[in-house]
Amino acid sequence: MAEAAPALAARTPTLFERLRRAADTPAVLGPLLAAPAVGLLAALVAYPLVFGVWLGLTSATLGNAGHFVGLANFTALFADPTYRAATFYSILYTVGSEALKLSIGLALAMVLNQRFRGYRAARSLMLLPWVAPTVLAVLAWQWLLDPQFSGISWLFERLGLIHHAINFLGTEWNARVSLIVVNVWRGVPYFAIGFMAGLQSIPAELLEAAAIDGAGGWASFRHIIWPLLAPLTTILVCFSSIWTITDFQLIWTMTQGGPVNGTQVFTTLAYQRAIPSGNLGQGAAIAISTLPFMIVLAYFALRAMREK
């Protein structure tokens, strides 16, 4: 190699070699390597996002570009009781399921973080609801919560808890609670695995020192574990809230927003207005109206990530 180098340098470099040498600097090669990703995301994320905001300001329908109508779509939405119902349940669905996922996920992580017989198997099985295709698992839930043939109703009747099968998805509040339970079922593993990583990063000496100082289980949780997990908790909750408040597949599969808009959320309403009804402008306006939530959640997530 060393002997060959002077010979190479003596020859006049061809155009190809000169180009190759020019490309061999971070300032040129970097943008070149990033270009495919940037191109895809610019065309299929950035442009549609901006275009979506524009669409929300027009009277577009399927197959008709419409014209600029200013904030008319938005003022119509705020006066629309269905949109208000969607806002209500989007928030309830998100707050309710985040609170449950956070507490159950943390509890599960604390249990799984211990060494016991079968802990490896338990850790890997725990993730299944998160891995399984949501729509397919949710179909099973829907059939399990059938108003007539539910195995859960059968069990409760046998236990003497109820006398009639529960209409899990057929009444407003039953449906609202059922959807939150199914969302929790799917989302707990995400929190659990996040918290397990967080718990493993807490130095054992810290907890041992606290135990020597006489801190019990609750005291060391309250004063050591919880504060140390706080930034991670914020990150998990913010990310999970972003997915939950814009969740479509779970709700659309199980109730399609019913009964009577009882479980309508932003995304199901946007879909209904835009695709079957063809009112693209209003659908886009509904979708865009979730952006403020996204921005706030992203801000807190980023801040917590810096803290970590």
Partner 1 sequence: MSASSASKPWLRIYVPLTCYFVFMFVPFYWMLLTTFKADHELLTTPNPWWIFHPTFKHVVDLVAGTQYLHWFANTLLVSVGATALSVAVSFLAAYAIVRLRFPGSKTLSAAIFFAYLVPPAILFLPLANVLIALHWFDKLWALIPIYTTFLVPFCTWLLSGFLRTLPRELEEAGRVDGASHFQIMTRIVLPLAKPGLISSTIFCFTLSWNEYLYALVYMFSSANKTITVGLTTELIRGDVFQWGQLMAGALLGTLPVIIIYFFFVEHYVSGMAGALKD
Contact by Cβ (8 Å): 283, 86? no
Residue 1 in the binding site for partner 1 (CB under 8 A): yes
Residue 266 in the binding site for partner 1 (CB under 8 A): yes
The CA distances from residue 59 to 51, 193, 254, 272, in Å, are 14, 45, 31, 16
Q: Minimum CB separation from partner 1 for residue 79, in Å?
A: 22
- List, in order, residues 6 or more apart from 258 with CB less than 8 Å away: 175, 264
Between 210 and 249, how does the x/- string for binding to partner 1 read (CB under 8 A)?
----------------------x--xx-----xx--xxxx
Site for partner 1 in 193-212 (CB under 8 A): 193-194, 196-197
Between 129 and 168, how does the x/- string for binding to partner 1 read (CB under 8 A)?
x-xxxxxxx-xxx-xx----x-x--xx-------------
Which of 13, 17, 18, 29 touches partner 1 by CB under 8 A?
29
Site for partner 1 in 41-60 (CB under 8 A): 41, 43-49, 51-52, 55
* CB nearer partner 1, residue 36 or residue 70: 36
Which of 83, 89, 168, 185 touches partner 1 by CB under 8 A?
185
Q: Minimum CB separation from partner 1 for residue 278, in Å?
A: 11
Round to whole Å and give the CA distance between 191 and 106: 7
- For 175-221, the DSSP string reads HHHHHHHHHHHHHHHHHHHHHHHHHHTS-HHHHHHHHHTT--HHHHI
Residue 260 in the binding site for partner 1 (CB under 8 A): no
Residue 283 in the binding site for partner 1 (CB under 8 A): yes
Site for partner 1 in 94-123 (CB under 8 A): 104, 107-108, 111-112, 114-116, 122-123
Site for partner 1 in 70-89 (CB under 8 A): none
Helix (H, G, I), strand (E, B) or coil at 26: helix
Position of tokens 């009882």? 262
Residue 20 in the binding site for partner 1 (CB under 8 A): yes
How many other C-beta atoms are found inside a 10 Å radius of the C-beta of residue 288?
20
Which of 13, 17, 22, 34 touches partner 1 by CB under 8 A?
34
Helix (H, G, I), strand (E, B) or coil at 67: coil
Burial status of residue 156 (CB atoms within 10 A of its CB: 0-12, 13-18, 19 or more)? middle
* CB nearer partner 1, residue 30 or residue 227: 30
| Rounded (5°) CA angle 27-31-34 | 145
Window of 75-83, 172-180, 222-230, 298-306 that interacts with partner 1 by CB under 8 A: 298-306
- List, in order, residues 6 or more apart from 229 with CB less than 8 Å away: 106, 195, 198, 199, 202
Position of tokens 């706080």? 230
Which of 102, 271, 272, 304 touches partner 1 by CB under 8 A?
271
